[in-house]
Amino acid sequence: VISLTMLWAQTPSLSEYFKTVVLRWLLVFGEPSITENHWYGGPITWAKVVGLFSLLGWVASRLIAASKAPGQPRAKALDLAALSALGGAFLCALLQVLVQTGRLKLGKAGPINLIDALALICGAVLFLWVEFRLWTGLRRLGHRGDLVLLGAMHVALVAGVAVTLALRAVEPERFGQVRWTEGLRIGATYMGLVVLVWVFASVAGEILAIRPRRLYAIAWQAWIESFRRMGAPWVVLVIFGLILLFFDWFVSSRTAEMGRSYVGSLMFLAAILMMLMIMILAPISLPNDIRQQTIYTVVSKPVRRLELIWGRMIGYMALVTLLLAIFGGVSLAYLDRNIGGEIQRTEAAAEKAEKQARPDAARQLREQANQLRTRMSARVPVKGSLIFFDSKGIQRQKGIDVGSEMEFRSHVEGASPSKAVWRFGVVDDPLDFRLPEPKRRLIDRRIPVEDLLQPGTIEYIQNEIAELRYQGMQAQAKQQAGGMTGKEVTSQGAVASRAKAQIDDLDKELKLLQEKEKRFVARSREAKDPAEAKAQLTEARKLHSRQIPIEMTFSVYRTTKGEIGRLVTASLIATSPRPDITPYTDVFDVHEYYTDKRFLPASLLVGSRGHLRIEIQCMSPNQYLGMSESDLFLLSSQGGYQTNFVKGLIGVWLQAMVLTAVGVFAGTFLSWPVAFLTTIFFGLAGYVGIGHLQSFALKLVQGGGPFESLIRMLGHDNLQSELAPTVAVVAAKTCDMVVSPVLERLVYLVPNFSALDVSNTVADGFAVRLDQVLIHILTGLGYALPFSIAGYFILKNREVAA
């Protein structure tokens, strides 16, 4: 294989293709920590991780099967060697810790480190033991398919090493330092992929054999059972009702934030209750069936094992769907009553305060009501790309740091040329500093102009005309550039003339509208009745597109108190890329922690092709305005919160689905108390512990692994200082070294429930986008499918009705 790759690499065009395409893909599929920056990047990583777990599962299951097989050859010496290799691995960890803590000094035997050599030997012995047990066991068991698979896996392992060597040979500047042992890792990933393919192949038949009738029967059984078992759904409903009755005791907030805390808490409540119900129902069902031997009746019928699992999941999920529908309906009614009423009450209070000459109170009440209204909606933002200019006018990635603990906002200085600029359109990525400026990565932040201008209005038609002109110019430029065939020239000419005809039509339409507007304006001037004049002006305004709402939430940092009671002011300049359109300027007071809403004239977008530049400056001297990229956006639409809330519940549904899969999976091979605890562990770890697991996997946790941390806790030690290498500390560190790799891998196994959660988006008043929902569904399936299929394999190989 190696010589073959070398041969390829020598022919120039082939070698180029090999280098850029084949090797790159082989690397992407082989190295677990690398993936492509595309939509398919996630699924590739998923396949690699699931593949590795499948490999582990397969090897373990075959070793167990082999050990149980009759006539197992006695190879006491080899078993002993494997056992001592395990001990040797532990010894390696101990030596490593001793060297690290400075208790032991080990010389190098030539180029090879002693510990590395020992580790290598131990690994080799263990590997040989597994090889021996697998080959002999599988041959004895007589599974030809397994033997073929084992052979394929070995080919994959060699391929991994070959790919590494090829990489070293082809791109020495990038991969010259990579050791061939890295190839084993890539090989292991390939082995995982091979097992994964085998898994798919073996499950495919089972999936094809699934019949909806049987699935339905199992699901129905799960449904009935869950009502019988402690009446779990009723209990959940009653608890939900009870908590809702006394919701005010636990959730109270200022008016402005009321929507956020109510929506967030209601979703949290729904999620927690669903999780609790699933934790109790899902893991207990199968073990109970097995224990009470009711499974006999089921498996004696022609029911597939996968149907047993998926049927149960469908039954529970039907229950979850029903309960979530009830929760959602009740929650929406509750929100409507409470929040809707609160907005009206606050606005009435603001009016009253205005009448009583209490200007501060009136302004604040109005702000609060507006904020609540903003939160209780589904906003679709159009975000730009933010860059800063400092007080000397030099472009910066970030503004001024005022020393706030929260770092994501940086500041612009008041009454200076310092400014923050949001650019819309196809712009260079300000965060990409890897390449020289002209080659920076481009990001697409174009404004969907068509969505923001209303068809049939003056601006819409103007925009269409500009667009057609642009197309015409493009065709012309192409023609001038030459190099086209005669046919292409004619087709381009046709495009240009068609565009011209369209422009003429639109021009006429535009003129009609403009004349109409003039008539309305003239009539409003002539009208004696002010109401009539206003009505005419309203008619005239209807001919135009609506203004473009722009929302901002800036923070204020004061270096002096300034004039007491006076807010910091900011200026806004919105510039179209077209030089013939006058920039729009505006000055406004900044209300910290509230949403400042301003409006841009629709004419700014005419012919902009989605490009726009918005500059914000702080006007008040000695004061600073803090902002981050998401602090300013155009509002493309603002829907009601109801649909959004329902979309948010999909997140809860997906969480419940994943936990159901985990619960049923645990039930396939554990007794019910252990399965129950396992599900609780996964639920808690996925909900509460996932952040910690992630930082543990990224080695961001200070203070060492669990054992070292325990010593630090007991000794009231801090996280940073190095512990004295006492016997206890060395022992703890050694244990950590053994346990940590397992813990670090847990992050792949424990479902990340927060990745499925969209309640914050809903509570903040932003619309949950469809693509977001799809990604969440995919993620949910990415967890649920492997768990349920693992359950299927276990159930298949287990004698449930022994």
Partner 1 sequence: MNPTPVTAKNRQIYYAVGMLILFVSMFLYSIPLNALKRKNQLGEATLGQVDTGSFVLKLLMIGGFRGMAANVLWSQAIDLQKVHEWDRLAQKVDMITRLQPHFLSIWTFQGWNLAYNVSVEWDAPEDKYEWIKKGIVFLKNGVVKNDRSPDLLWDVAWTYYHKYGFADEAIVLRRVFRDDDDEAFKTNPKDGVVQHDNFLLGRGWFTKAVELVDDGARRLREGVRTDLEYVDKPTQHKGRSDDIAFRSMPAHAQTRYALSLEKQSIRDVPATFGEVAREEWRRALGLWLDFGHYPWPAWSKRTEMVELDDLTEPAKLATLSKDQSFWADRWGHQMNYPYWKARCQAEMTKEGTDARKLFYEGTIALNSEADFLKAVSKYREGLEVWDKLLNRFPTYRADDLNQKDTGMILKRYFKALRQAGLTRPKDTPFPELHKLVEMDLNPDPYDALDMLPQKSARPEGAPDAPR
Using CB under 8 A as the criterion, which residues of the chain lie in contact with partner 1 when the complex forms?
Answer: 246, 249-254, 256-257, 260-261, 292, 353, 356, 358-361, 363-364, 405-406, 555-556, 558, 561, 563-568, 590-593
The residue among 285 and 371 lying less far from partner 1, judged by its C-beta, is: 371
The set of long-range contacts for 22-27, using a CB threshold of 8 Å and a minimum separation of 24, is 23/163, 23/166, 23/167, 23/170, 26/163, 27/163, 27/167, 27/186
Report the chain's terminal Cα–Cα distance, integer Å: 48
Least distance between partner 1 and beta carbon 265 (Å): 9
The residue among 70 and 565 lying less far from partner 1, judged by its C-beta, is: 565
The residue among 24 and 358 lying less far from partner 1, judged by its C-beta, is: 358
Least distance between partner 1 and beta carbon 328 (Å): 23
The residue among 354 and 717 lying less far from partner 1, judged by its C-beta, is: 354
In the chain, the amino acid numbered 166 is: A
Least distance between partner 1 and beta carbon 361 (Å): 5
SS (H, E, C) 376-432: CCEEEEEECEEEEECCCCCEECCCECCCCCCCCCEEEECCCCCEEEEEEEEEECCCC
For residues 184 and 157, is the Cβ–Cβ distance under 8 A?
A: yes
CB atoms within 10 A of CB 493: 13
Using alpha carbons, select from 645, 769, 654 the residue that is nearest to residue 321. 654
The residue among 366 and 613 lying less far from partner 1, judged by its C-beta, is: 366
The residue among 320 and 556 lying less far from partner 1, judged by its C-beta, is: 556
DSSP string, 69-135: STTPPP-HHHHHHHHHHHHHHHHHHHHHHHHHTTS-----BTTB-HHHHHHHHHHHHHHHHHHHHHH
Both tokens of residue 273?
A: 């209750």
The residue among 295 and 306 lying less far from partner 1, judged by its C-beta, is: 295
d(CA 427, CA 386): 10
d(CA 281, CA 234): 13
d(CA 708, CA 153): 38
Least distance between partner 1 and beta carbon 623 (Å): 9
Least distance between partner 1 and beta carbon 281 (Å): 21
The residue among 520 and 624 lying less far from partner 1, judged by its C-beta, is: 624
The residue among 169 and 710 lying less far from partner 1, judged by its C-beta, is: 710
The residue among 423 and 591 lying less far from partner 1, judged by its C-beta, is: 591
Q: How far is CA 386 from the centre of its chain?
A: 22
Least distance between partner 1 and beta carbon 99 (Å): 36
Least distance between partner 1 and beta carbon 760 (Å): 11
The residue among 429 and 592 lying less far from partner 1, judged by its C-beta, is: 592
The residue among 259 and 791 lying less far from partner 1, judged by its C-beta, is: 259
The residue among 216 and 588 lying less far from partner 1, judged by its C-beta, is: 588
Least distance between partner 1 and beta carbon 178 (Å): 41
Mark 613-637 as b/e (b = at least 16 C-beta within 10 Å). bbbbbbbbeebbbbbbbebbbbbbe
DSSP symbol at 800: T
d(CA 693, CA 686): 9
d(CA 451, CA 353): 39
Rg (C-alpha) for the chain, rounded Å, is: 34
Using alpha carbons, select from 307, 288, 636, 290 the residue that is nearest to residue 445. 636
Least distance between partner 1 and beta carbon 802 (Å): 17
Output phi, psi for 448, to 5 deg: -75, 80
Q: Give the orientation angle of helix 305-355 with respect to helix 359-375, to 10 degrees.
A: 160
d(CA 576, CA 583): 7
The residue among 433 and 593 lying less far from partner 1, judged by its C-beta, is: 593
Q: Residue 346: how many CA atoms within 13 Å on its side-chain side?
A: 23
The residue behind tokens 């899969």 is: 661
Least distance between partner 1 and beta carbon 353 (Å): 8
Using alpha carbons, select from 164, 78, 166 the residue that is nearest to residue 124. 78
Least distance between partner 1 and beta carbon 719 (Å): 14
Least distance between partner 1 and beta carbon 297 (Å): 17
DSSP symbol at 798: S
The residue among 121 and 801 lying less far from partner 1, judged by its C-beta, is: 801
Least distance between partner 1 and beta carbon 763 (Å): 11
Least distance between partner 1 and beta carbon 366 (Å): 11
Least distance between partner 1 and beta carbon 589 (Å): 8
The residue among 109 and 357 lying less far from partner 1, judged by its C-beta, is: 357
The residue among 62 and 591 lying less far from partner 1, judged by its C-beta, is: 591
Mark 443-477 as b/e (b = at least 16 C-beta within 10 Å). bebbbebeebbeeebbbbbbbbbbbbeebbeebee
Least distance between partner 1 and beta carbon 404 (Å): 8
Least distance between partner 1 and beta carbon 323 (Å): 22
Q: Could you give the angle at the alpha carbon of 316 between the alpha carbons of 310 and 320, nearest 5°?
A: 135
Least distance between partner 1 and beta carbon 298 (Å): 19
DSSP string, 231-277: THHHHHHHHHHHHHHTHHHH----HHHHHHHHHHHHHHHHHHHHHHH
DSSP symbol at 210: -
In the chain, the amino acid numbered 203 is: V
The residue among 33 and 246 lying less far from partner 1, judged by its C-beta, is: 246
